[in-house]
Homo-oligomer: A and B are copies of this chain.
């Protein structure tokens, strides 16, 4: 079951330093897990099905650590405001529509289809605060074969009536109802993740209750952190006792921990916050396009990598416009160069190798052994055709992959996709 060999021009990252590659190599998947990449087929796998990808590229699936599924309907529009105004003007009104299950069903179908067709094999998503809508998204993702975490959002302050739970108590009860429903449905691919939207949306009372739920249910948690100056100032005003933004999660046991924690953005994190993220094993979801679009700035990703923090990439639809994590990788490289130029030239810009590492193994670590072809890693595999990109001379597989990423090859070039050894495209 789920054992096969893919022959092609294989590229993968084991570290961020240099991409590994094997021209006309053989990737062996056994029971859904990688056995490694070989120059020829080892004797013991001779009877496996051989999938010949021809001259195509073969790479690990990409990982999206941060995306808002309900914002899919307005991605690529409304690029004029900063975070807090953008939320109030466009995002909260849109998310409030997800009380209507038929609206939710429609948008989540589009979203899931887009993710399925993309290079993404793993996704960590926000839904909205609505339990039924969240179940709808989870059902669709489960069916797609993408392995994912989905969070019903908690919000009990600073948003319009239509998009606010009536109390901390109600939010907590909704959350438990959602978790029980998840358990009942016995999902194989999709799991719940606790999702206080961000500090401005959650009272301390709610945070306290989520803390209890987290411990009882052993849940990972996701939220937003230090994204935009206006937001950071608002957090300071709301939680004057907090030493820094992350402290307002940490106090409630929602900042790291062995069940996993993702904080999106971290554009403005100070030294104390960085130290605590490191200590607590927080995963940073770097969302470079969103941080440009909402005028937030550029996260110091090289610094985070050098300090040994966990970093992956996020599309952050609809702050970001595209579900493409290839685009996110390229954007990460580009903005790191501007960071180097304008903010701090003591940190080298990211290379494509750095960015592809973040897009695969970096974010994949949140899911376990995911995002590489080293032995024992989950069999998340993509076959990529770059035939739509004219190539008038020889390029190595690594050069072809870089070019594929920069030139949006994933718009037309995804020819095969496996998640943990299951073919879904």
Contact = CB atoms under 8 A, between A and B. Distances in A.
A404 B321 CA distance: 11
Contact of A295 (B106, B110, B349, B388): B349
Contact of A408 (B75, B289, B403, B408): B408
A333 interface: yes
Interface in A370-400: 388-390, 392-393, 395, 399
B76 A403 contact: yes
B322 A407 contact: yes
Of the candidates A289, A337, A338, A343, the one having the most CB atoms from chain B within 10 angstroms of its own CB is A338
Contacts of A392: 72-73, 106-107, 110
A272 to B, nearest CB: 23
Interface residues of A, number: 50
A297 B337 CA distance: 8
A20 interface: no
Contacts of A113: 390
A113 B390 CA distance: 9
Contacts of A76: 389, 402-407
A151 B186 CA distance: 66
- Oligomeric state, in number of copies? 2
Nearest to A407: B76
Nearest to A296: B341
B408 A341 contact: no
A115 to B, nearest CB: 11
A218 interface: no
A67 interface: no
Contacts of A408: 322, 408, 411
A389 B406 CA distance: 19
A322 B406 contact: yes
A72 B298 CA distance: 30
Interface of A: 72-77, 79-80, 106-107, 110, 113-114, 289, 292-293, 295-298, 321-322, 333-335, 337-338, 340-343, 349, 351-352, 388-390, 392-393, 395, 399, 402-408, 411-412
16 contacts: A72-B390, A76-B389, A76-B404, A79-B333, A79-B351, A79-B352, A80-B351, A292-B335, A297-B338, A321-B407, A322-B406, A322-B407, A338-B338, A342-B342, A342-B343, A388-B411
